[in-house]
């Protein structure tokens, strides 16, 4: 397929590019300097001359706390950006793959502790989450051949060269070299996900015509405190991690207490689940050592 990859220098975009190429796709990678998704005219100027079958939108405004102060910027990138892309894709008969977030699930699942499925009703709990949910709705409403894929807590090697806002693993490793004791939130359960694994899954998904909404994370679930402990154990860093509550941490934006996503729908389409989070983390830390 002929593919335009928007957000090509971000964490996910950087892992998608080589995998798309390895799968035989002809890819035009587009960095922020080359396309501004909030500007519908510019988007059309960049994309219309290309021979395309599929547009992938891996670009986003991901600053969850800052979105509380500048919701208009978040909406512009996360809602109106995808709307621009969806309209253009529909007009040209292109497919659109768009990424969204587990943060659309800010409520409590019923029954408790059941991973959220694609048919559960979102209840976003902050400006970032609302802007991403609006983006999903625009894509679903305006582009008939869409894949909307919700994921969680991404970490990819591109963060090592400054892509995006960084990631939790890199933040922990940096802090772990500076301090012997850390306090990490232990009352948010989700599934941090390696962009390498997500990219593999997306390459398999776009090979199908099974358009629609999907949940895609590594398998299993954990708290950020548990994740931090495993990062330090695998990295051989002697850091004591004390559990704290979300309220004690005091971030500006609300975050879901439970945003574990049920990935069975995607697994049935692409032939299996994404790897377990332990395995993904270990592989990331190994590849990071080679990358550095
Ligand atoms: N990161 C997470 O933890 C997480 C969790 C759940 C879902 N997601 C979703 O997964 C997707 C990929 O995330 P990621 O972590 O790979 O993101 P990322 O590393 O932050 O990369 C996003 C890319 O988008 C570019 N970009 C930002 N605004 C843009 C605009 N207006 N027009 C064009 N390009 C723009 C950025 O360029 P500049 O940096 O140069 O501005 C950056 O290269 C996003 O949809 C995100 O919302 C991420």
| 193 C-beta closer than 6 A to ligand 1 | no
CA distance 213 to 217: 14
Residue closest via CA to ligand 1's atom 10 equals 99
Instruction: Supply the pLDDT for residue 250.
Output: 94
Three-state DSSP at 116 gives strand
| Dihedral sign (CA 256, 288, 240, 183) | negative
CA distance 272 to 219: 11
pTM: 0.98
Pocket test for ligand 1, best of 103, 154, 190, 217 (most atoms within 8 A of CB): 154
Residue closest via CA to ligand 1's atom 1 equals 154
| Lookup result for tokens 């986003």 | 60
Going from N- to C-terminal start, the domains of the chain cover 2-167+192-218+260-275
CA distance 244 to 182: 10
C-beta atoms surrounding 58 within 10 Å: 27
Which stretches of 120-270 are DSSP H helices? 127-142, 168-178, 195-205, 224-234, 246-249, 264-270
Q: What Å distances lie between residue 275 and 17, 74, 191, 283, CA to CA? A: 20, 31, 11, 11
Task: Mark whether 128 is an active-site residue.
Answer: yes
Options 75, 128, 155, 284, the catalytic residue: 128
Mean of all residue pLDDT scores within the chain: 97
CA distance 147 to 6: 15
Ligand 1 centroid distance, CA of 74 (Å): 11
pLDDT, tens digit (0-9, with 9 covering 90-100), for 205-250: 999 999 999 999 999 999 999 999 999 999 999 999 999 999 999 9
Pocket test for ligand 1, best of 62, 146, 191 (most atoms within 8 A of CB): 62
Query: In CATH, which superfamily holds the domain spanning 2-167+192-218+260-275?
Result: NAD(P)-binding Rossmann-like Domain (3.40.50.720)
Ranges of the chain with pLDDT below 70: 292
Instruction: Supply the pLDDT for residue 161.
Output: 85
Ligand 1 centroid distance, CA of 150 (Å): 13
With a CB cutoff of 8 Å and minimum separation 6, the contacts of 52 are: 2, 3, 4, 92, 94
Closest to 270 measured CA to CA, from 207, 213, 214, 204: 204
Instruction: Supply the pLDDT for residue 162.
Output: 85
Instruction: Supply the pLDDT for residue 292.
Output: 60
Instruction: Supply the pLDDT for residue 145.
Output: 98
With a CB cutoff of 8 Å and minimum separation 6, the contacts of 162 are: none
Ligand 1 centroid distance, CA of 272 (Å): 26
């Amino acid at each position: 397929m002929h593919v335009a990859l928007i957000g090509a220098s971000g964490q996910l975009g950087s892992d998608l590019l080589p995998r798309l190429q390895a799968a035989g796709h002809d890819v035009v990678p587009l960095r922020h300097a080359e396309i501004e998704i909030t500007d519908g005219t510019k988007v059309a100027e960049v994309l219309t001359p290309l021979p395309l079958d599929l547009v992938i939108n891996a670009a986003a405004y991901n600053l969850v706390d800052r979105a509380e102060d500048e919701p208009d910027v978040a909406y512009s990138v996360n809602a109106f950006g995808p709307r621009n892309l969806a309209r253009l894709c529909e007009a040209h008969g292109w497919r659109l793959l768009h990424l969204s977030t587990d943060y659309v699930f800010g409520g409590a699942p019923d029954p408790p502790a059941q991973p959220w499925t694609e048919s559960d009703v979102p209840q976003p709990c902050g400006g970032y989450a609302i802007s991403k949910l609006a983006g999903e709705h625009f894509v679903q409403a305006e582009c008939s051949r869409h894949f909307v894929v919700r994921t969680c807590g991404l970490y990819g090697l591109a963060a090592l060269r400054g892509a995006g806002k960084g990631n939790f693993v890199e933040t922990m490793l940096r802090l772990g070299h500076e301090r012997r004791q850390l306090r990490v939130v232990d009352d948010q359960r989700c599934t941090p996900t390696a962009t390498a694994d997500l990219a593999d899954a997306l390459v398999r998904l776009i090979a199908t015509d099974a358009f629609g909404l999907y949940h895609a994370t590594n398998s299993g679930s954990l708290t950020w405190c548990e994740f931090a402990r495993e990062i330090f154990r695998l990295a051989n860093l002697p850091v004591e991690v004390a559990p704290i509550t979300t309220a004690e941490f005091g971030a500006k934006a609300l975050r879901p207490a439970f945003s574990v996503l049920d990935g069975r729908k995607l697994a049935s389409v692409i032939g299996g689940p994404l790897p377990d989070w332990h395995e993904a983390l270990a592989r990331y830390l190994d590849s990071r050592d080679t990358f550095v």
